[in-house]
Amino acid sequence: MHGSQFFPKVTAIALAIALSSQAYAASRYDELANLPFKNGFPTKASSQKLADELIFQRATQAYLWSLPAINIWAMKEASEKQFGAGYNILPTWKGRINAKTLVTTPNSDLVYAMSYLDLKKYGPLVVEAPPGVQGMFDDFFQRPLVGPTIEGKTWRGDVGLAGPDKGKGGTYVLLPPDYNGPEPKEGFVYRSRTNNVFLFWRTFFKNPADLTTPVAEVEQTHIYPLGQKDTALPMQFPDATGAQINMLFPHDGAYFDMLSRFIEAEAVDPADMDMRGFLHTLGIEKGKPFAPDAKRRKLLDQAARTAFKMSKVISNDLLVNEAGGLYYKDRQYVNTFAGENTEFQSSGSYTNLEQRVAFFTSAYSDSPGMVMNIVGAGAKYPATSRDADGNYLDGGKSYKMTLPADVPAALFWSVTAYDGLSASGMPNGQAFPSLNQMDKPVQNADGSTDIYFGPTSPGAGKNWIQTVKGKGVLVIVRLYGPKQAFFDQTWKPGDLHKQ
C-alpha cells in the first residue's frame, strides 16, 4: 500500500488526535481558563493550580529543549562510570556494539569508539585522527564544532571522508568556548560552544569475522593537551563489547537531576538564557544545588514522563506532516534531516523543533556528512516505524522488506531493528539485530534482497532479523557513501509488508 493510501491513514490519526484533544480541552483547559479571580486577583486555590501548571509546562518544554544535551550527557556518565574518565580513554566496541549496550540507535555494522573530552578541565586538546576513521566532533548540544575555512568552505564537525582530512587522517585542535590564547599553528582548529566535546569514531570492516584492521585504525588515535604531547597520559582503549551498560537518558523525573548536573558542568551560552530561565523556575541554576521538595519532585516526574511521550508523538505522528518529513511520496520512510541543517534551522528563520526532537529522542551525533546531500560521502538513514499499510510495526508480527538490486552505497549498506520505545538495539537473542552488505545476504535472481522481520524464523536460507513480542519496532536503512540513485530516487527501499 503506497502514497494515496498512506495519507488517509495519517489524516485519520490526525483527526483522532484532534477529537481527543477537543474533549480533553473541554475539561482541563476550560478549568484552567476559568479559574476564579476575586477583584482582579487570584484566589489561593487558583494561584496554586496555575503555579503548578507553570512548573509543569516549563518542565515539559525544558525536557524537549534539552534532549540533545541530556542524551549525550547520559552517555558520558554511563561510559565514565564503566570505563573511567579522561582525555586518554577511548572506549571501543572491538567486537561490534550489540543490544547489551543500551544507547539510542547504535549501528552494529561498524566498529565504534566514543569519548567525552572535557575542555574545561584539560584546556585545548589535540586529537590525531588516524586514516580510515569516519567520525565527528560535536559539542554537548550535539552541534558540530566549527572548523577552519579552506578554499571558501567552512568545515563543521566531520572527520574522515566528509572532513577536511578527506579520509587521510589529520591533526585536530579543539578549543573551549572561553579560549582567548594564541591561534594554534598546527592542524585543523575546531571551536566548541560547550566545555565538553563528543568524539565519535566509526571504522569499517570488510569481513565480519575479522575486525583486526578497523580496531587497529581506532587504536592509532592520540589525544593530548595542547603543547603537552610528550608528557600526556598514555592512551587507553577499553573494550566495550558486550558491556551491559545503560547509556539511555531518563524518561522520568531523574532526567532533571541529570539536567542539573549538565548545567553545573557547562559554559553559559548567551543563546540559552531564556531556556535557562525556564530551568530557574524549576529550581535548576548554575552554582546552586537542585533540591526539589517531594511535591515539586512528583510534578517534575509527571512532566518528564509526559514530555518523553510527547517526543514519541512528534517522532511517530507529527513529523510526517513537516515539509520533507517523508523521504518518498509512496513509502513510509521518515527523514529527520529534511532541512539539511545540522542545527535544524529552516529557511534561516526558525528552528524546526519537531525534527530536532524526533532525532534526539531516538539518536545521537550530528554532522554535515549525515545531514547534507553529498554523493559518495557521509551517510543517509531512511527510518520507519510503520508497515506498508501505515500501521505501527509490531514485534509479534512478521514482515518482509525488499531492497532492490544495486543498493546505492559506495561503502556499504545495513538494515537494523530497534526497540520502538527506547530506540536501543532490539534485544532479540541474535548476535546483532542487523543485516549488512558484508554478511553476504542471500539475494534473489534479479539481485534484490529480501529481509524478513518477525519473532520466528521464516525458514532456512532466508535473511532474518528477529523481533520481540510485546515490543514495537523501529527499522533504519543505512547507506554509507550514498550514490546518485538514492538522491534522484531511481532506487528506493521497499516498505515492510505484513506476512
Q: What is the DSSP string of 71-122?
A: HHHHHHHHHHHHH--STTB--B-TT---TTSB-SS--TTSEEEEEEEEHHHH
Pairing type for strands 170-175 and 188-191 reads parallel
Over residues 271-284, mean pLDDT: 96
Question: CB-based burial of residue 404 (10 Å sphere; 0-12 exposed, 13-18 middle, 19+ buried)?
Answer: middle
pLDDT in tens, 19-29: 666 666 568 89
Query: How far, CA to CA in Å, does 496 sit from each of 331, 454, 487, 492?
Result: 10, 11, 21, 13
Residue 484 has pLDDT above 80, yes or no: yes
User: Looking at the predicted structure, is the pLDDT value of residue 443 above 80?
Assistant: yes
pLDDT at 10 over 70: no
Burial class of residue 70 (count of CB atoms within 10 Å of its CB; 0-12, 13-18, 19+): buried
Give how far Cα 434 sits from Cα of 90, 92, 383, 468, Å: 25, 19, 14, 14
The C-alpha atoms of residue 327 and residue 407 are separated, in whole angstroms, by 16
pLDDT band at 4 (very low <50, low <70, confident <90, very high): very low
pLDDT of residue 12: 62
Per the listing, cell 527510518 goes with: 383
| CB-count burial class (<10 Å; 0-12, 13-18, 19+) for 355 | buried
* Residue 3, pLDDT above cutoff 70: no
Q: Cβ neighbours of residue 44 under 8 Å, at least 6 residues apart?
A: none
Arithmetic mean of pLDDT over the chain: 93
Question: Could you tell me the CA-to-CA distances from 353 to 116, 380, 383 in Å, in that order?
Answer: 26, 20, 18
The three-point CA angle 488-490-496 to 5° equals: 115
- The yes-or-no verdict on residue 1 having pLDDT over 70 is no
Residues 6+ apart with CB under 8 A from 46: 35, 36, 37
**Residue boundaries of the structural domains of the chain:** 1-34, 84-231, 319-498
pLDDT for the residue 424: 97
Which whole number is the average pLDDT over 324-329? Answer: 91
Radius of gyration for the alpha carbons in the chain, expressed in angstroms and rounded: 24
CATH 2.60.120.600 is held by the domain 319-498: yes
Tell me what pLDDT residue 11 has. Answer: 58
**Cβ atoms of 340 and 351 closer than 8 Å:** no
- How far are the Cα atoms of 90, 116, 187 from residue 235, in angstroms, in the given order? 8, 14, 20
pLDDT at 390: 95
pLDDT tens digits along 382-432:
999 999 999 999 999 999 999 999 999 999 999 999 999 999 999 999 999
Q: Are 355 and 342 in contact (CB under 8 A)?
A: no
- Per-residue pLDDT, averaged over 113-136, amounts to 96
Segment 210-223 shows an average pLDDT of 97
Quick one: pLDDT at residue 2? 45
C-alpha cell at 355: 525534527
Q: Which of 420, 473, 471 is nearest to 309 (CA)?
A: 420
In tens, the pLDDT along 87-114 reads: 999 999 999 999 999 999 999 999 999 9
All 3 cell numbers of residue 129? Answer: 585522527
- CATH 2.60.40.1610 holds for 84-231: yes
